[in-house]
Amino acid sequence: MLELRLKRWLPVTTERIFITRRDIAATMNRYLAKEEPGVQRLLRPLWKRQKEIFNEDTLEQIIRIRSVPQWLTDKWFEIANEWMDEKMIPVYEKTIKAAGTLIEKRVNESRKQDFNFNMASASVFKWMTEHGGALIRQLSTKQAASINALLSHQTFMGITSPALLAERLLPLVGLLDREALAVVRYQSELEAAGIPAETVREMVEKYADFLHKNRAFRIARTELANAYNYGQWEAIDQAVHAGLFPGEVEKEWLTAGDENTCSECEDMDGETAKHDEPFSNGYMVPPAHVQCRCSATYSVIRS
């Protein structure tokens, strides 16, 4: 009984695995800034391959049924999966390894242990196959619905020429519905203003290219942040299961802490949870949304 009373009043100490609360965020953002341009460049060939399906027969079928056929949606998804295996899996592996190795280094510095992060873990492979590329796969299926919705727009009404339909549809591949609609509206405004057709085509292509660049940036930022945050969590989890910590490991949600932080994430800033339990928003680790810049930091709670 005396022992229980003593334990109850023993002070609780927190041992941060990182030097400062901002250490992890700064490290992650440096990594993302370095790697994002490469991922953005990888997306262009994907969208190019998906556009190549629009041959004359395909376009005539779309004109006939006034919608994107299911086989085309399936093909887009198939191309995205092939591209993921070829181009993005190596990116995820590199990112997870970089994040996990940083945790490995900090654990060994703080615990004086010989901990080695295991990239060959089954859980790493599972994450890459189940969670990697979620935005890319989602976009490949959503773009069909987006194009279907636009086929009834006045810009597409009365089109019977496969060549003209291709000119109108090709800039939309790789864009979400709101972005695709913005392109269509822009084209309608230019045509209504009496601008020559060739000039309209060039201006529309330039505008769509601008939207594709923004879309590529958002995908790159989100996919890399997702893999990086997971890599650190996975390394922590491996260290916990190896018995390297003298107490319970706690994670803390950390925002970028600037004027661009959204209200959703601002409310999460500083929230803590056990390392193997989700935060109150349902996520195990950030990011919480597209282009989220949040990260998680870890501490050992000892009593």
Task: Give the pLDDT confidence of 208-251 residue by residue, as tens digits.
Answer: 999 999 999 999 999 999 999 999 999 999 999 999 888 889 99
| 276 located within any domain | no
| 266 located within any domain | no
d(CA 40, CA 122) in angstroms, rounded, equals: 28
| 267 located within any domain | no
Confidence of residue 198 (pLDDT cuts 50, 70, 90): very high
Confidence of residue 59 (pLDDT cuts 50, 70, 90): very high
d(CA 8, CA 47) in angstroms, rounded, equals: 60
| 286 located within any domain | no
Predicted pLDDT at 258: 78
Predicted pLDDT at 9: 40
Predicted pLDDT at 112: 76
d(CA 259, CA 251) in angstroms, rounded, equals: 24
Predicted pLDDT at 247: 81
Q: Is the preceding peptide bond at 171 cis, omega within 30 degrees of 0?
A: no
| 23 located within any domain | no
Q: What is the CA radius of gyration of the chain?
A: 24
Give the number of domains in the chain. 1
| 191 located within any domain | yes
**Mean pLDDT, to the nearest integer, of 53-67?**
93
Longest dimension (CA), the chain: 90
| Residue in 94, 97, 99 with CA at minimum distance from that of residue 118 | 97
For residue 48, the enclosing domain spans 31-244
